[in-house]
């Protein structure tokens, strides 16, 4: 006790004098009575006097009202907390000698009834005799009421004979049960067996009762039937030296010490000298009124047991009762004066401690009183500042670490930035990361501390301590960046790999370490999507140094060899496309060509096959498979000819140039061969459109003068004139004529007009080409493509050709023309004779009568009799053999109708200009088509601008031909 420090954490609030009002007898002097009992609760202090009066006091111990529940004396009372009830035990008038004068009453303080003009009293809701025949009378030494579920009360009454009378139930309705608990049976010495204190302990459904005598401490388990008694200790205490803590611990005070008891026995004990007159518990503090037997003075101490300090100590008069209300401690003295003591606020207590530099006490105080974390951190900060000012940096940092989460880290970091305090700063930053409160800057600073100290062990512990990726307590990117800058590449790679930051891992391998093979192995171990992303980012470096291995990984990503058993159509659309990786080959076209070739060999139905074929065509057809930066690549292999740069440099300049030229030409021929094969294979005969962009392919062939490709494309697109134009441009006469033989045959769907273009070409050539012209004329004459006059005009432009070239052709044409003229003359004469005969017949029909001499009906072949019908066509019929209103000969009518139908069709076709022009264009001899239209009367000349009927419309519509 002498080692405990004393502080004034409490202060006296106010004092008062407890008195009773004027008596009913009208005495002029206030009667001073003895206070027998006290209680508090629900904002009031209640006192019971020896004359049976109970007084109520408000805050500040101001008298409120009084009433007389008993006639002579109030021995015990208790203000209930859950309901506004007052339970009293007092002496009333003895009705009979057999019945005791002690009784228990329950008053409802919410129901006040006027007793007289000057006093009011609460309604008494229950009166109960304490002692009965089964429960003999004895002196009451202790009294305690437990509020169970309202309105059930459990009342324990301790007696001087070592017994406890218990009353349980609803006293107002007189529904109660009584039972007796025997603590001790020592009837010979009542001073040792009297029950001096009681205490209830409620733990869920468990209800237990502590009972104290001067010689023992017992525990009754009331939930057992019958209640089971357990002796906790063989020592006890006197009256008023028993209290219950807030954790339902029993506290008893003896001259040598204060003891605490749990349900399982004695707990801690605190040695305080002096007789314990009164004992109490308030907000975690132990209250004790101690009498010094040497001086006879009474001291009121408030103990903070957790922090081992005396929170308040004061000399007081003789105290009779100890109460707690309004957040204060109330001491009732024997002279009926009162002393109220209240606890100071936390700020005042801390200021008091700070002034004395008692920071440890302050920290313990805020922790035990469950102050908020911010307040605790502020105390720790001040303590840390105090230690820092004394240059006790280690202890100071220990306090600052405890403030993490509440104190701004920059406050501490700034204090320890001195290089001599780098160890303390490192410790603080480590704790900051452990609690997950570090920022990127903190991570950077901590890693810099490690690298400056060259503490690889701690760096390893910091980087590699966590077992799972999700628990990294630092910013990954910052850690990687700092480790790279300090050349701790292994640690940076570990963090990147553990956090799944594949791009950083590869950046270190490729840019810092140059470990290309290891990078490729790492990419191979990644998931397909991750591997594709990393190759897109770092593929240029990998292709430059490890083209073969990189292409293998790309092929595996784009084809997934292990999963080729899946459905091609759906699955291939989910795989990465080779087009996505074209950018990484920007300076390595040969590698790109190898990659796409390998891909197309494995995949025939890629969704991106058009783009792939376009790229391959560009690579195959281009004359120069090179980029400006290719010449700067050293030791990487010459992709044009497969000869390393070192081997080439070892040769002479002349040999090198010749070899380059030869290899370049060979490579170009090989690529052109591949390009032509691709053009053909990607445009199958059964498909209308190729698997590449035709326009792009034509442009590439033209730009690079790839004749074979152009010829194939033009021929495939039926652009025959462009095909022969290629031969003309190349002066390949043999190929030109061979091409026309293949493409100009109308029987096979060719275009015969190509021969006319070829003839025109030879006519404008300006050199001797007699052999070729004769061959061309053979096909022109065979298919009758051009008139002789056009042939003569065309060939006359070539001064190198003689008449002998076309002499035979002209002779044959003239002979054929003569025959045709003779045939036409004979046909004209025949048509003229037929026309003259028809005109005579028409004239005869108009001017002469017809004599019908048929004797039989044409329809039924019976003898013709009247009535009969004769037609101008010389057919006769019975009238009965003809239909109703029949005006045409049934025999000649079908032929006549067919002629009319042909005429109507011709007139209708005359209005279809598109058909006319199509026939003119598609015919070998357009003039014959026009002549045929005139011959059929479809196109007629308008005479003097006037015609009638539909002829006028026809003539006008065709007058433009």
Q: How far apart are CA 643 and CA 637, in angstroms?
A: 7
- pLDDT band, very low/low/confident/very high, at 465 (cuts 50, 70, 90): low
Structure-token pair, residue 371: 């102050």
Given a cut of 90, whether residue 132 has pLDDT beyond it is no
Give the DSSP letter of residue 687: -
903 or 654, greater pLDDT: 903
Residue 217: beta bridge partners?
212, 233
710 or 462, greater pLDDT: 710
Q: Looking at residues 131-135, what average pLDDT do you find? A: 86
Poorest-pLDDT segment among 104-118, 202-216, 395-409, 474-488: 474-488
Structure-token pair, residue 887: 């005006």
pLDDT digits (tens, 9 = 90+) for 555-593: 888 887 544 444 455 555 677 888 888 888 888 888 888
Given a cut of 60, whether residue 611 has pLDDT beyond it is yes
Query: What is the SS3 assignment for 57?
Result: strand
839 or 293, greater pLDDT: 839
CB-neighbour burial class of residue 367 (10 A; exposed 0-12, middle 13-18, buried 19+): middle
298 or 956, greater pLDDT: 298
Poorest-pLDDT segment among 348-357, 483-492, 879-888: 483-492
Given a cut of 70, whether residue 721 has pLDDT beyond it is yes
Taking each helix axis from N to C end, the angle separating 733-743 and 753-763, rounded to the nearest 10 degrees, works out to 160
Q: Which of 365, 400, 404 is nearest to 386 (CA)?
A: 400
Phi then psi for residue 473, to 5 deg, are: -105, 25
Give the pLDDT of residue 684: 83
Q: From residue 319, give the alpha-carbon distance in Å to each of 47, 294, 302.
A: 14, 18, 15
Structure-token pair, residue 158: 């301790």
- CB-side neighbour CA atoms (13 Å) of 935: 7
Q: How far apart are CA 492 and CA 543, in angstroms?
A: 25
Q: Which residues contact 828 (CB under 8 A, 6 or more apart)?
A: none
The 3 state secondary structure assigned to 292-353 is CCCCCCEEEEEEECCCCEEEEEEEECCEEEEEEECCEEEEEECCCEEEEEEECCHHHHHHHH
Q: Which of 246, 274, 261, 249 is nearest to 216 (CA)?
A: 261
Q: From residue 645, give the alpha-carbon distance in Å to each of 543, 634, 653.
A: 17, 7, 13
Q: What does pTM read for this prediction?
A: 0.51
Give me the percent of the chain exceeding a pLDDT of 70.
Answer: 86
Taking each helix axis from N to C end, the angle separating 609-621 and 653-681, rounded to the nearest 10 degrees, works out to 150
Task: Outline where 575-643 has alpha helix (H).
Answer: 589-602, 609-621
Given a cut of 50, whether residue 639 has pLDDT beyond it is no
Q: Which of 180, 168, 171, 84 is nearest to 132 (CA)?
A: 180
- pLDDT band, very low/low/confident/very high, at 938 (cuts 50, 70, 90): low
Structure-token pair, residue 232: 């906790």
Give the pLDDT of residue 765: 83
911 or 635, greater pLDDT: 911
Q: Which of 693, 528, 539 is nearest to 609 (CA)?
A: 693
Give the pLDDT of residue 22: 41
Poorest-pLDDT segment among 299-313, 648-662, 734-748: 648-662
Poorest-pLDDT segment among 316-320, 510-514, 615-619, 622-626: 510-514
CA-based Rg of the chain, rounded to a whole angstrom? 64
- pLDDT band, very low/low/confident/very high, at 219 (cuts 50, 70, 90): very high
Give me the percent of the chain exceeding a pLDDT of 90.
Answer: 14
Structure-token pair, residue 44: 């009031």
Give the pLDDT of residue 287: 93
Structure-token pair, residue 667: 């490579």
pLDDT digits (tens, 9 = 90+) for 771-782: 888 888 888 888
Q: Looking at residues 339-362, what average pLDDT do you find? A: 83
Q: Which residue has tokens 């007629």?
A: 940
Residues listed for the chain: 961
Given a cut of 80, whether residue 91 has pLDDT beyond it is yes
Contact assessment for residue 560 and residue 576, using Cβ atoms and an 8 Å cutoff: no
Q: Looking at residues 795-823, what average pLDDT do you find? A: 86
Taking each helix axis from N to C end, the angle separating 422-434 and 456-464, rounded to the nearest 10 degrees, works out to 10
pLDDT digits (tens, 9 = 90+) for 23-50: 443 333 335 688 999 999 888 999 999 8
Residue 588: beta bridge partners?
none
637 or 84, greater pLDDT: 84
pLDDT digits (tens, 9 = 90+) for 416-438: 886 478 888 888 888 888 888 88
Q: How far apart are CA 357 and CA 383, in angstroms?
A: 8
- pLDDT band, very low/low/confident/very high, at 643 (cuts 50, 70, 90): very low
From start to end of 639-732, where are the E strands? none
Give the pLDDT of residue 27: 38
pLDDT digits (tens, 9 = 90+) for 734-765: 888 888 888 877 777 677 888 888 888 888 88
Q: Which of 147, 157, 171 is nearest to 79 (CA)?
A: 147
319 or 491, greater pLDDT: 319
Q: How far apart are CA 461 and CA 603, in angstroms?
A: 49
Q: Looking at residues 302-329, what average pLDDT do you find? A: 89
Give the DSSP letter of residue 856: B
Give the pLDDT of residue 567: 42
Distance of CA 804 to the CA centre of its chain: 90
Q: Looking at residues 208-233, what average pLDDT do you find? A: 90
Q: How far apart are CA 197 and CA 217, in angstroms?
A: 9
Q: From residue 377, give the alpha-carbon distance in Å to each of 373, 382, 636, 892.
A: 6, 9, 64, 127
What number of other Cβ atoms are within 10 A of residue 616's Cβ?
22
Q: From residue 829, give the alpha-carbon distance in Å to each of 822, 832, 842.
A: 11, 5, 20
Q: Which of 441, 447, 502, 438 is nearest to 469 (CA)?
A: 502
Dmax (CA) for the chain in angstroms is 186
3-state helix, strand, coil split of the chain in percent (to 5) is 45, 20, 35
Query: What is the SS3 assignment for 885?
Result: coil
- pLDDT band, very low/low/confident/very high, at 793 (cuts 50, 70, 90): confident
Given a cut of 70, whether residue 469 has pLDDT beyond it is no
Give the pLDDT of residue 797: 85
Given a cut of 90, whether residue 636 has pLDDT beyond it is no
- How confident is the prediction for the chain on average, in pLDDT? 80
pLDDT digits (tens, 9 = 90+) for 517-558: 777 777 777 777 777 787 887 778 888 888 888 888 888 888
Q: Looking at residues 103-120, what average pLDDT do you find? A: 79
Q: Which residues contact 838 (CB under 8 A, 6 or more apart)?
A: none
Q: Looking at residues 848-867, what average pLDDT do you find? A: 82
Poorest-pLDDT segment among 176-180, 381-385, 563-567, 855-859: 563-567
Handedness of CA 776, 782, 784, 785 (dihedral sign): negative
Contact assessment for residue 920 and residue 926, using Cβ atoms and an 8 Å cutoff: yes
- pLDDT band, very low/low/confident/very high, at 224 (cuts 50, 70, 90): confident
pLDDT digits (tens, 9 = 90+) for 378-404: 888 888 888 888 888 888 888 888 888
Q: Looking at residues 232-250, what average pLDDT do you find? A: 90
Given a cut of 70, whether residue 190 has pLDDT beyond it is no
């Amino acid at each position: 006790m002498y080692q405990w420090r004393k502080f004034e954490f409490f202060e006296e609030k106010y004092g008062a004098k407890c008195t009773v009002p004027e008596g009913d007898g009208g005495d002029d002097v206030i009667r001073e009575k003895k206070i027998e009992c006290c209680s508090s609760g629900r904002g009031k202090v209640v006192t019971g006097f020896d004359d049976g009066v109970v007084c109520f006091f408000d805050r500040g111990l101001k008298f409120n009202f009084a009433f007389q529940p008993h006639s002579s004396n109030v021995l015990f009372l208790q203000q209930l907390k859950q309901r506004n009830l007052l339970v009293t035990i007092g002496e009333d008038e003895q009705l009979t000698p057999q019945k005791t004068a002690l009784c228990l009453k329950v008053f409802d303080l919410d129901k006040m009834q006027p007793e007289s003009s000057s006093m009011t009293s609460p309604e008494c809701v229950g009166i109960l005799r304490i002692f009965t025949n089964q429960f003999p009378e004895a002196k009451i030494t202790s009294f305690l009421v437990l509020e169970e579920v309202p309105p059930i009360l459990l009342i324990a009454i301790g007696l001087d004979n070592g017994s406890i009378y218990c009353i349980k139930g609803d006293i107002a309705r007189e529904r109660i049960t009584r039972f007796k608990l025997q603590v001790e049976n020592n009837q010979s010495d009542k001073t040792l067996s009297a029950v001096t204190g009681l205490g209830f302990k409620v733990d869920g459904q468990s209800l237990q009762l502590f009972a104290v005598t001067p010689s023992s401490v017992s525990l009754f388990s009331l939930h057992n039937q019958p209640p089971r008694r357990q002796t906790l200790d063989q020592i006890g205490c006197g009256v008023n030296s028993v209290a219950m803590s807030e954790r339902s611990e029993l506290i008893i005070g003896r001259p040598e010490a204060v003891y605490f008891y749990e349900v399982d026995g004695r707990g801690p004990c605190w040695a305080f000298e002096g007789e314990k007159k009164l004992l109490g518990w308030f907000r975690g503090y132990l209250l004790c009124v101690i009498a010094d037997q040497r001086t006879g003075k009474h001291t009121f101490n408030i103990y903070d047991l957790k922090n081992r300090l005396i929170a308040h100590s004061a000399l007081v008069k003789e105290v009779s009762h100890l109460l707690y209300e309004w957040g204060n401690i109330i001491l009732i003295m024997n002279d009926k004066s009162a002393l109220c003591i209240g606890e100071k606020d936390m700020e005042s207590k801390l200021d008091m401690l700070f002034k004395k530099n008692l920071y440890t006490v302050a920290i313990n105080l805020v922790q035990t009183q469950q102050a908020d974390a911010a307040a605790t951190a502020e105390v720790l900060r001040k303590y840390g500042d105090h230690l820092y000012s004394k240059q006790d940096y280690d202890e100071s940092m220990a306090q600052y670490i405890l403030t993490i989460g509440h104190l701004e880290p920059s406050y501490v970091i700034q204090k320890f930035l001195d290089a001599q305090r780098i160890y303390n700063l490192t410790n603080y930053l480590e704790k900051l990361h452990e609690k997950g409160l570090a920022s990127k800057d903190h991570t950077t600073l901590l890693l810099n501390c490690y690298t400056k100290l060259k503490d690889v062990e701690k760096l390893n512990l910091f980087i590699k301590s966590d077992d799972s990726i999700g628990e990294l307590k630092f910013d990954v990117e910052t850690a990687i960046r700092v480790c790279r800058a300090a050349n701790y590449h292994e640690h940076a790679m570990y963090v990147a790999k553990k956090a799944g930051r594949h791009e950083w891992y590869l950046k270190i391998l490729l840019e810092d370490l140059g470990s290309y093979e290891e990078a490729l192995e790492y990419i191979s171990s990644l998931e397909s999507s991750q591997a594709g992303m990393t190759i897109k980012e770092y593929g240029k470096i990998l292709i430059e140094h490890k083209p073969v291995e990189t292409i293998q990984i790309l092929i595996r990503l784009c084809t997934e060899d292990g999963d080729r058993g899946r459905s091609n159509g759906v699955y291939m659309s989910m795989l990465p496309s080779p087009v996505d990786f074209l950018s990484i080959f920007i300076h390595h076209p040969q590698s790109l060509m190898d990659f796409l070739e390998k891909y197309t060999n494995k995949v025939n139905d890629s969704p991106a096959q058009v783009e792939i074929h376009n790229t391959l065509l560009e690579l195959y057809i281009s004359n120069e498979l090179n980029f400006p930066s290719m010449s700067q690549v050293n030791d990487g292999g010459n992709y044009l000819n497969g000869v390393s740069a070192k081997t080439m440099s070892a040769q002479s300049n002349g040999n090198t140039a010749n070899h380059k030229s030869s290899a370049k030409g060979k490579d170009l021929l090989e690529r052109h061969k591949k390009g032509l094969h691709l053009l053909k294979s990607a445009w199958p005969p059964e498909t209308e459109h190729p698997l590449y962009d035709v326009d792009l392919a034509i442009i590439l062939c033209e730009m690079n003068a790839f004749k074979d490709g152009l010829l194939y494309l033009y021929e495939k697109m039926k652009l025959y004139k462009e095909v022969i134009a290629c031969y003309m441009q190349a002066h390949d006469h043999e190929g030109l004529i061979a091409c026309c033989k293949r493409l100009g045959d109308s029987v096979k769907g060719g275009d015969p007009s190509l021969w006319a273009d070829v003839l025109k070409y030879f006519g404008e050539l300006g050199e001797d080409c007699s052999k070729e012209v004769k061959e061309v004329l053979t096909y022109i004459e065979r298919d009758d493509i051009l008139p002789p006059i056009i042939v003569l005009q065309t060939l006359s432009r070539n001064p190198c050709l003689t008449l002998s070239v076309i002499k035979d052709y002209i002779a044959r044409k003239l002979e054929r023309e003569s025959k045709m003229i003779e045939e036409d003359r004979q046909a004209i004469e025949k048509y003229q004779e037929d026309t003259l005969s028809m005109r005579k017949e028409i004239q005869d029909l108009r001017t002469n009568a017809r004599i019908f001499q048929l004797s039989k009906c044409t329809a039924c072949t019976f003898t013709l009799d009247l009535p009969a019908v004769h037609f101008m066509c010389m057919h006769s019929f019975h009238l009965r053999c003809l239909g109703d209103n029949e005006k045409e000969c049934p025999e000649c009518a079908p032929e006549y109708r067919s002629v009319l139908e042909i005429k109507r069709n011709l007139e209708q076709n005359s209005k279809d200009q598109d058909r006319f022009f199509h026939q003119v264009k598609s015919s070998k001899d357009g003039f014959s088509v026009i002549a045929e239209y005139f011959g059929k009367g479809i196109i007629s000349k308008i005479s003097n601008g006037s015609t009638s009927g539909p002829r006028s419309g026809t003539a006008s519509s065709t007058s433009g031909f």
